[in-house]
Amino acid sequence: MFNLNPFYKPYTALKRAFFFIIMTLNTVKRSLHVPSDVKTLLNNYSLKLDSLLTSAAGNAKLSKNKNFSNIPPAVILHLLPDKQINLVTNKNNTNETLSRAYNPELAELVKKYNLRNKVDLYSGCAFSTSGCALNCLNFSGRNNVYKTVNAARGRRTLAGIDKPKIFVKSLIYSIAKHYKKNNYNLAVRLKGTDENNYMFSKINLSINEINNLNSYFNLNILYDDKPRTITDIFKNDNLSFYEYSKGHINYLNALKSLNIDVTSSMAADRLTGAADAITAHLAGYRLAIPINLKSNIIPDFIEVKDISGRRVIMPAVNFDLYDYRPLNAHNIAGVLKVKKPAAGNIKSGFFIKDIKNKFQSICGGHIKLIYK
């Protein structure tokens, strides 16, 4: 059927359609459409995408990265470790230390969303030892100075316990937001103060979610109808992932298989502490070793031997200068000076004593700090 209107111009309709498409695309690019399930979860636990992950402004160790031009900006996920979420939501907890005390705000959230059974069963650190649990980094620094910091870590922990898949999707949007904010260059750590397994979680993103993430944050996420891990979702973008872990060798290898740079954390008070450290080193992982240093001078080398007769000697490097571990070689021992935990015990077997050039006992073997 022909249009008999003498003023009708066929190309005008095409131009209008084209203009509408361009305007729509521009609107999509300018507008972030956070999924409703993510919005609901964040709202329930008073969380925001911007602060779900902590940047250098809120983490002293990450702020040191700025002193090095070859280190990308980084963000870190801080949750409550081990059984801590259970303790701080238990009204029978009489501990008065700020970061260990009963928190009625968190307890009310547990009650409101019926999480008591899940919280009672939850542990954020499958590889925790007694010394690790008592002296966790969670009980040092800002978390023991500001009540709001501890509460925020608790709310994040509860959100993950309540809706783990949606929490992982929230992390994806938070990572994307920090990625754009930092000029499309970012490093990510998800095991800031616990040993969570969110790196292994797989989720589906819809076509609309992927298109919006790509257009708004300038990402390169490909569509896949199969569930994917966080690192797989971001594999085509300028993001790097790195972690510390006290896990056994199979766990370290599983993390590494996700394209994560892994540093093995020594657990000197674990029965197999010495053997685990040597096994990790021989498998190509650098070691992080907490030492109760008497000064800021670190050893030149560190030697570890286990009860089977295996022994390794590793160059020692100061791990307190910055946090970005991918910059370090894989054959080293990284020295971390003990950060005194509130209500902790720095004499615990979890920490290595600063004894020069003599072997000292650790679980399953011995360690020597070699000073030239």
| Domains of the chain, residue spans | 28-370
Query: Does 11 have pLDDT greater than 70?
Result: no
User: Would you state the pLDDT for residue 21?
Assistant: 53
pLDDT band (50, 70, 90) for residue 14: low
Alpha-carbon gap, residue 96 to 189, rounded angstroms:
30
Which residue shows structure tokens 């260990």? Answer: 100
DSSP letter (8 states) at residue 304: E
Which SS3 state, helix, strand or coil, does residue 16 take? Answer: helix
The pLDDT of residue 19: 40
Which residues have C-beta within 8 Å of that of residue 126, sequence separation ≥ 6?
A: 195, 247
196 vs 78: CA distance, rounded Å: 10
- For the segment 6-13, the average pLDDT, to the nearest whole number, is 49
Q: What percent of the chain has pLDDT over 70?
A: 89
**Which residues lie across from 269 on neighbouring strands?**
none
Using pLDDT thresholds of 50, 70 and 90, give the confidence band for residue 44: very high
Which residues pair with residue 82 across a beta bridge?
A: none
* Mean per-residue pLDDT, 208-237: 97
Question: CA-CA-CA-CA torsion for 120, 122, 124, 126, nearest 10 degrees?
Answer: 110
pLDDT higher than 60, residue 352: yes
Q: Name the pairing type of β-strands 365-370 and 301-306.
A: antiparallel
Instruction: Read off the pLDDT of residues 115-145 as tens digits, 9 standing for 90 and up.
Output: 999 999 999 999 988 888 777 877 776 666 5
Query: Could you tell me which of 191, 102, 195 has the C-alpha nearest to residue 150?
Result: 102
- Paired with 366 in beta bridges are 305, 361
- Confidence at residue 347, expressed as pLDDT on a 0 to 100 scale: 72
Q: Is the pLDDT of residue 205 over 70?
A: yes
Question: What pLDDT sits at residue 1?
Answer: 43
Mean pLDDT of 336-347: 76
pLDDT of residue 10: 52
**Model confidence band, residue 6 (pLDDT cutoffs 50, 70, 90):** very low
Segment (H or E) for 57: none
In 3D space, the residue among 305, 53, 342 whose CA is nearest the CA of residue 182 turns out to be: 53
Supply the pLDDT for residue 197: 97
Question: Is the pLDDT assigned to residue 16 strictly greater than 60?
Answer: no
What is the structure's pLDDT at 3?
A: 47
- pLDDT score, position 97: 85
pLDDT at 365 over 70: yes
Buried-state track 55-71, b at ≥16 Cβ within 10 A, e below 16: bbebbebbebbeeeeeb
Q: How far apart are the first and last CA of the chain?
A: 95
Render pLDDT for 281-310 as a digit per residue (tens, 0 to 9): 999 999 999 999 999 999 999 999 999 999
pLDDT in tens, 72-100: 999 999 999 999 999 999 999 998 888 88
Query: What residue ranges in the chain does DSSP mark as E strands?
Result: 74-76, 186-189, 239-245, 261-265, 286-292, 301-306, 311-318, 333-337, 352-353, 359-362, 365-370
* DSSP sequence for 227-295: -B-HHHHTTTSSEEEEEEE---HHHHHHHHTTT-EEEEEP-TTSTTHHHHHHHHHHTT-EEEEEEE-SS
Predicted confidence (pLDDT) at residue 113 exceeds the cutoff of 50: yes
- pLDDT at res. 176: 98
Q: What pairs with residue 305 in β-bridges?
A: 311, 366
What mean pLDDT is predicted for residues 257-264?
98
- How far apart CA 31 and CA 24 sit, in angstroms, is 10
Query: pTM value?
Result: 0.89
Distance between CA atoms of residues 78 and 137, nearest Å: 11
User: Which two tokens mark 11?
Assistant: 């190309």
pLDDT digits (tens, 9 = 90+) for 149-170: 999 999 999 999 999 999 999 9
